[in-house]
Structure 1
Amino acid sequence: MSDPNMKEFYNRVVRIEQAHSMGYGFEAEGTLGRSFYRRTPVRRRPVFRIGVFLICFCFGMKGAIHYNMGAESYDRRVAEIEARGGLDAVQGFLMRSEPVTRLISHGIGVVIERSRT
């Protein structure tokens, strides 16, 4: 006849041995045990996610400005900035209304029209 307490005991022993083989130790609180000397894994920086977020944010801001100013006024102002030359020409080139900006501007317009009705 098997004793259920012995089965539970042997299960605990197996669990403790597995933990011990993986490097876990039994430490008193406040002491420097095995976990203190374990090297923490290096976390990778989320550079790709940050880049995608910044690109989406820039296009979103351009779309919002494009919607707020209107297409003709926006294009006229960007042309004025480009005409100044120097770094302003680069800024004007970046602020041109390309299809993505116009698509976002149109989407903002659709959302605002739906919210008004």
Structure 2
Amino acid sequence: MADPNLRDFYGRLDRIEKAHQRGYGFEAAGTLGRSHYGRGRRPGVGVVAPAVFVATAVILLKALIHHGIGAGVYDARVADLWQGQTALERIGAAVMQADPATLWLSDLIARLLA
């Protein structure tokens, strides 16, 4: 049978070793020890940054396509998507619709390449 005092002793040793790994060893009260200079908690990226990145990439891709094939052809293809048979085609038409940001970027690309 295991000695309960020995189990408590080894449990305390485990806690002390974990505290030392976190930098809590040998600190006097009121001083700045290793634990003060640790990595700390970094704020997470969350959902906003990836969503902004994806939206920016989609708008840039639309602007490149708009510039590459021309405004008339682009609008005709989006109109064909609006007349599509499936909901996926209509969703694609809504996403690919030329918005002001797309038109501005397309114009900027045209001015830069001219």
TM-score, structure 2 normalization = 0.63
Moved runs in structure 1, 4+ residues, more than 6 A?
Answer: none
Identity rate, percent:
26
Shift of the alpha carbon at 1:71? 0.3
Q: Determine the C-alpha separation between the residues in 1 that align with 2:44 and 2:69.
A: 37
Unaligned runs of 5+ in 2: 1-26
Shift of the alpha carbon at 1:45? 2.3
User: What residue is the counterpart of 1:92 in the other structure?
Assistant: 93
CA RMSD of aligned residues (A): 2.6
Shift of the alpha carbon at 1:112? 0.2
Shift of the alpha carbon at 1:55? 1.4
User: What residue is the counterpart of 2:33 in the other structure?
Assistant: 23
User: What residue is the counterpart of 2:111 in the other structure?
Assistant: 110
User: What residue is the counterpart of 2:22 in the other structure?
Assistant: none
Residues 36-47 of structure 1 mapped to structure 2, 5 A cutoff: 40-47=39-46
Between the two proteins, the alignment pairs up a number of residues equal to: 84
Amino acid at match of 1:21: T
Q: Determine the C-alpha separation between the residues in 2 that align with 1:58 and 1:83.
A: 22
